[in-house]
Amino acid sequence: MNQYFYTLPVIFMTVLCMLFLTIKNEYVLPAHRKGFFVAFLGAFFVIVCEVATILFDGSAMKVKALHFLANYLGFLLSPLLVVFFAVSIGRFHRVKGAVFGAGAYFVLYNVLVAAKQLFFIDAQNNYHRGNLFFVYLISYLAAVLYLLYETLRFSRKGFKRHRIFAHILSICFLLSSSIQVIKPEVYITRITVVLSLCTYYAYDIELTNLFDRLTGALNQGTYLRKIKELKEQQVVVIFDIDGFKIINDNYGHQYGDNCLAVVARAIKLIFGNYGQAYRIGGDEFAVVLRKGNNVESLIMHFEKTIADKFEDAPCKITVSTGYAKYEKNDTYEDVVKRADDNMYRVKNQKQALAATVFGSEQ
């Protein structure tokens, strides 16, 4: 037990530092930042409750009410905090299901506590687990599994290494948080939760910083690292919005930003099953396809999708595309240059055609 108290200064200092870091961290998504802040603040409060239960257990009867309250709040909040953190990782997309589950847990928890089936404090102010304590364990496990689900779902946005790490992190969190359940006298859950949250925080920054905030596509830095790993048969597709500066000048930057977001969503929708999408410049995007057997049909589908999306828009958006396949003895610079040249060839053809049409109308 003494070892647990020796770790408390480090745990509290870690939690306070993480609270300070999460308050205005622009490198974390707003929803995630809210989740981290509440999770670290909740962890701090639950640790205080846990310390109180240790100190009050078997002590003077005048603190029996405080002993009960510390146990009550500690057990009540632990699964709820995990659920809230999971919902924030999912960016609050499935709030209704989480609220329903948390509400059901709250009602069941209070019924079991009132019936002394979850835990109770005896006449000597000693804590005891109730006969149905396993219901709490199942609830906590369900909350952790929900967090693991959202973590793995979030990790799919990254690369293979991020998905592998997410699985490792999930397994470690599940195992470490179960130790105290198996051996109640080993107070290690709070330590492992805080360390896991710190690891989540670093992982979240790593994964979030791969993406462009406006469009949700992978950013230019990620693209520059990725193309250096090109392999044979992979294809680079370059996208450039035609006349984007004129669109910004005539319709404003907010409209331009909306156009960028729509184009990015179309790229991810059509090419997402075949490779990753990147924003590589102001109005330029790229996709690195694992194979390019169907690249022509994908581009045609993309162009039709863009035409449909902007059919009723005040400004008709068109996108020029060019692609190149990585051939034997190529360097990645060769492939990117060919794709870029092909894209500009398509753009020049469009401009020449537009000039011809405009000239004939005059």
pLDDT: which is higher, 321 or 360: 321
CA nearest to 282, candidates 251, 310, 257: 257
CATH number of domain containing 331:
3.30.70.270
Are 195 and 233 in the same domain?
no
pLDDT band at 183 (very low <50, low <70, confident <90, very high): low
- pLDDT tens, position by position, 68-84: 999 999 999 989 998 99
Domain assignment present for residue 144? The answer is: yes
- pLDDT tens, position by position, 98-125: 999 999 999 999 999 999 999 999 999 9
Rounded to whole angstroms, how far apart are CA atoms 339 and 116? 70
> Above 60 in pLDDT, residue 1?
no
> Above 90 in pLDDT, residue 272?
no
Average pLDDT, whole number, for the chain? Answer: 87
Domain assignment present for residue 79? The answer is: yes
Are 76 and 120 in the same domain?
yes
Are 263 and 121 in the same domain?
no
**Which of 55-64, 182-191, 267-276 bottoms out in mean pLDDT, i.e. has the lowest?**
182-191
Q: What are phi and psi of 270, to 5 degrees?
A: -90, -35
Percentage of residues of the chain with pLDDT beyond 90: 44
**Which of 59-63, 79-83, 310-314 bottoms out in mean pLDDT, i.e. has the lowest?**
310-314
Tokens of 223: 């693209």
Are 14 and 110 in the same domain?
yes
Domain assignment present for residue 215? The answer is: no
Whole-model pTM: value is 0.78
Give 182: exposed, middle or buried? Use CB within 10 Å, 0-12, 13-18, 19+. Answer: exposed
Domain boundary among 173, 208, 243: 208
Are 38 and 67 in the same domain?
yes
Q: Do 169 and 199 touch, CB atoms closer than 8 A?
A: yes
Are 129 and 250 in the same domain?
no
Are 202 and 229 in the same domain?
no
For the segment 308-323, the average pLDDT, to the nearest whole number, is: 88
Are 300 and 164 in the same domain?
no
Domain boundary among 178, 208, 238: 208
> Read out DSSP for 119-151?
EEE-TTS-EEE-TTHHHHHHHHHHHHHHHHHHH
| Cα 249–Cα 251–Cα 254 angle in degrees, nearest 5 | 100
Strands 235-241 and 119-121: unpaired
Domain boundary among 208, 234, 255: 208
Domain assignment present for residue 213? The answer is: no
pLDDT of residue 184: 64
Are 226 and 180 in the same domain?
no
Domain assignment present for residue 320? The answer is: yes
What's the domain range around 231? Answer: 220-361
Give how many domains the chain has, as a whole number: 2
CA nearest to 325, candidates 255, 234, 206: 234
pLDDT of residue 187: 63
Rounded to whole angstroms, how far apart are CA atoms 67 and 62? 10
> Read out DSSP for 62-110?
GGHHHHHHHHHHHHHHHHHHHHHHHHHHTTTTTHHHHHHHHHHHHHHHH
Rounded to whole angstroms, how far apart are CA atoms 149 and 48? 29
Are 126 and 163 in the same domain?
yes
Are 40 and 185 in the same domain?
yes
Domain assignment present for residue 252? The answer is: yes
pLDDT of residue 169: 82
> Above 60 in pLDDT, residue 361?
no
pLDDT of residue 185: 63
Domain assignment present for residue 152? The answer is: yes
CB atoms inside a 10 Å sphere around CB 46: 21
Are 313 and 180 in the same domain?
no
Give 344: exposed, middle or buried? Use CB within 10 Å, 0-12, 13-18, 19+. Answer: middle
